[in-house]
Structure 1
Amino acid sequence: MPKTVVVLGGSLGGLAVTHRLLKYTLPHEPDVKVVLVSKNSHFYWNIASVRAVIPRVVRDEELLQPIAPGLAQYPPGSVEFVVGAATGLDPQAKTVRVATAGAERGLTYGYDYLVVATGADAAEPGMPWKAAGTHDELVASLRSTAARIGAASHVVVAGGGPTGVEVSAEIKYEFPAKTVVLLSAGAELVGGDATAGRIERELGRLGVDVRKGIRAARADDDGAGKTRLTLSSGEELLTDLFLPTTGLVPNTAFLPADFLTEGRYVDVDECMRVRAAQDVWAIGDAVSKPRASYLNTDGQAAGVARNIGLVLQGKDQQVVKDPPVDIFICTTGRGRGAGRLGPVPIPSLVVWAVKGRTLGMERTAKYVDGTMW
């Protein structure tokens, strides 16, 4: 009997699973069909979003490319691409409901195997750090943010994690005359990672005003096009532009409650199987295990594609292991950065070479046409 694998999410994890199944599993299991459901018609290399909001630095096609053409290379009937968002799941009936622009009541897809790779959105609506909506909405958000950054002389970035650090550095690198304030609620940047001190020094070299242990408690429009921030310290700060980068909200609202942890992430075992269901796996930011990162997501995608292949062959699944060495890299503008390979510091020049030079945008085309794998 033909087997249908439904993959929810067309970002880093979902597209990686889809191409791997079609390239490496399909030749041995010709009765497999993959249905990829993505709320965005285009793949988004969101790792480069921090640079894409700088005016005139990144072209749209460098980080946004259509998904469908890359899937057309596979045998007819082996893959279906659906632009829509999952709205509900029935694990007993093995069906998933999908809202699409062309179907008023949505569509229902049956599956034999399901992969949840729906990722997470920025906690603050409207920020382009993740693909929260359609392709047109995302492009509009990127362009609007870039225009506001270009027009502002004073910018406050909230969030001392990697996104906040990188976007504040990108702004200051491109516009040295602008005042850029980075607010970090924590006592150290990037969650107190071993690189925190070096990252703070790099930001200091650029002239970013780093304020630790302070968060924006309230943001109000002052009626004249500026934002009045009330800080947790009691201080008020008037800024031309407020960019919140704090927090992720997993896209898991459509899943049954018993699929989820207390934090609304999907609860999976060591094989990335959802504990509460049969034949369902989850990866990436919807899981955030051990933490949200590109390397973790890619490894999980490879492991889940392999495990689906093993199940199709009637074999036992394998544990999906974390990367052998924990790698953390944070850019500070287009010239420098800080990172570590396990406990070993990575020199700034190496950070620039492996990440900061392009932020990996050369991989956008490789993801959509499958040559990444």
Structure 2
Amino acid sequence: MSKTVLVLGGAYGGLHVAHALLKKQLKDVKVVLVTKNTHFYWNLASIRRIIPGQYKDEDILKPIEPALKRYPSTSYELIIGSAEAADFASKTVRVATATGDRTVAYDQLVLATGSRTPEPDMPWKASSTYEEVVALLKETEDKVKAASHIVVAGAGATGVELAGELGFEFGKTKEIILLSAGDKVLGGDIAAPAAANELKKLNVAIKYGAKVESTRPAAEGSGKTEVVLAGGETIATDLYLPTMGLVPNTEYVPTQFLNENKTVKVDEFLRVLETTDVWAAGDVVSKPRAGFMITQKQAAAVAKNVELALADKAPLVAKGLPVDILACAVGRSRGAGRMNSFRLPSLGVWLAKGRTLGLQMMGGYLDGGVA
């Protein structure tokens, strides 16, 4: 009797799991991949795409369907839609598509729907359709080009990298300010001093202790935005680009399977607690934290455990990365990072990440090479 593996999410985690299972050519197993976006989005490079004259849409967005056509048509199905409600008891998921809702039954379920930015008009995550992502990238690029004063809020990895891209391109012609809620960038990581120093070289001003409370339109007709800080100070800017926080895409998951942060509760096998056939990887887990390399490792573990479950075998403990790595590109020629407690040289970070923002790996995700 045929079995169905339902994979929710077509980004780094979900596409990885789908490829890993399809490459095995498991007998009487069908993989159903549900994704809202028809294209695989290399969002790691979105910060460079919004710089005029750099990456094009087709560089960081590639269609998913051609990547699956290498497999027998009976072994997979691609559904363009979004998960609306999961029922773990009946082993079904209601999926909203352009032609209406559809209920999909499964034998094994993988949750890999990722996360989104709190602000819906930022392109750092693929939380909408292909057409909407492309429009948002172009809109942001146009705003960057027109602005003479830009505020980047949030000094985590995305904020530092975004400020670095802006500083590299416009540091001598536009005023660029990075707001850090704490007294150091990168949450005080040991790579923080190096990152701050690289940003300074690019003429990016860092304002510490600057937690954003709210934003509001400035004087009518000015076209500016007022950024209100926790202490009451306001900064008027032509363009406000927030990078703070992530919201897990888990609204379709029954609340008893979520923790206080709305991420999925899993065991050491990355199996959702109190289930036997539901697995999760990536930003919906955020354990130990959200991250590209962590997602890749988790996706491999989930794919293996799903394969074992289909064969009625016990799962394996999901192992984490052998080392803890943080790498931040700071512009198109420098970087900052560390491996465990060892600080990485700027040139090394540039070679590993900053030069292409990982685009050379995109093909491996599309054709399943990483799986």
Under a length normalisation based on structure 1, what TM-score does the superposition of the two structures give?
A: 0.97
Shift of 1:234: 2.3
Q: Residue 77 of structure 2 is aligned with which of 77, 80, 95?
A: 80
Q: CA deviation at 1:203?
A: 0.8
Displacement of 1:231 in angstroms is 1.7
Q: Which residue is 1:229 aligned to?
A: 227
> Which residue identity lines up with residue 125 of structure 1 in the other structure?
P
Shift of 1:212: 1.2
For residues 347 and 306 of structure 1, the distance between their equivalents in structure 2, rounded to whole angstroms, comes to 35
**3-state SS of 1:201 partner:** helix
Which stretch of the first structure deviates more once superposed, 107-116 or 359-368?
A: 359-368
- 1:265-319 per-residue CA deviation (whole Å, 9 max, x = no partner) reads 0000110000032200011001111011111100000001111111222221101
Partner of 1:128: 123
**Farther off after superposition, 362-371 or 221-230:** 362-371
Query: For the residues of structure 2 that align with 1:12 and 1:117, how far apart are their CA atoms?
Result: 8
* Superposition pairs of residues 78-227 of structure 1, within 5 angstroms: 78-103=75-100, 106-176=101-171, 177-222=173-218, 223=220, 224-227=222-225
Q: Distance in 1 between matches of 2:328 and 2:282?
A: 19
Shift of 1:30: 1.4
> Which residue of 45, 48, 61 corresponds with 1:48?
45
Distance in 2 separating the partners of 1:312 and 1:218: 49
- For residues 248 and 234 of structure 2, the distance between their equivalents in structure 1, rounded to whole angstroms, comes to 32
Indicate conservation of the 8 Å contact 1:88/1:254, yes or no. Answer: yes
Counterpart Cα distance in 1 of 2:227 and 2:3: 54
Letter of the 1:200 counterpart: A
Gaps of 5+ in 2: none
Correspondence 1:58 to 2:24 = no
Residue 303 of structure 2 aligns with which residue?
305
- Say which SS state the counterpart of residue 317 (structure 2) adopts: coil
Partner residue of 1:18?
18
Distance in 2, matches of 1:372 and 1:17, equals 10
Q: Distance in 1 between matches of 2:60 and 2:275?
A: 35
**CA deviation vs aligned residue, 1:195-244 (integer Å, no higher than 9, x gap):** 01111111111111101111222211122211112222322211100001
Normalised by the size of structure 2, how large is the TM-score? 0.97
Cα distance in 2 for residues equivalent to 1:282 and 1:92: 17
Aligned partner letter, 2:304 = R
Would you say the 8 A contact 1:64–1:364 is kept in 2? no
What is the deviation of 1:187? 2.1
Give structure 1 stretches of 5+ with no counterpart. none
Q: Residue 69 of structure 1 contacts residue 369 of structure 1 at CA under 8 Å; is this kept in 2?
A: no
Counterpart AA for 1:245: T
RMSD over aligned Cα atoms: 1.0
Query: Does structure 2 retain, via aligned residues, the 8 Å contact 1:13–1:298?
Result: yes
Paired residue total: 368
> Among 280, 286, 289, which residue is 1:288 paired with?
286
> C-alpha separation between the residues in 1 aligned to 2:225 and 2:21?
48
Mapping of residues 26-37 of structure 1, within 5 Å: 26=25, 29-37=26-34
Match of 1:256 among 254, 257, 282: 254
> How far has the Cα of 1:124 moved from its partner?
1.2
Q: Which runs of 4+ in 1 moved over 3 A?
A: none
The alignment partner of 1:362 has SS state of helix
> Residue 345 of structure 1: SS of its match in structure 2?
strand
The Cα of 1:365 is off from its aligned counterpart by: 2.7
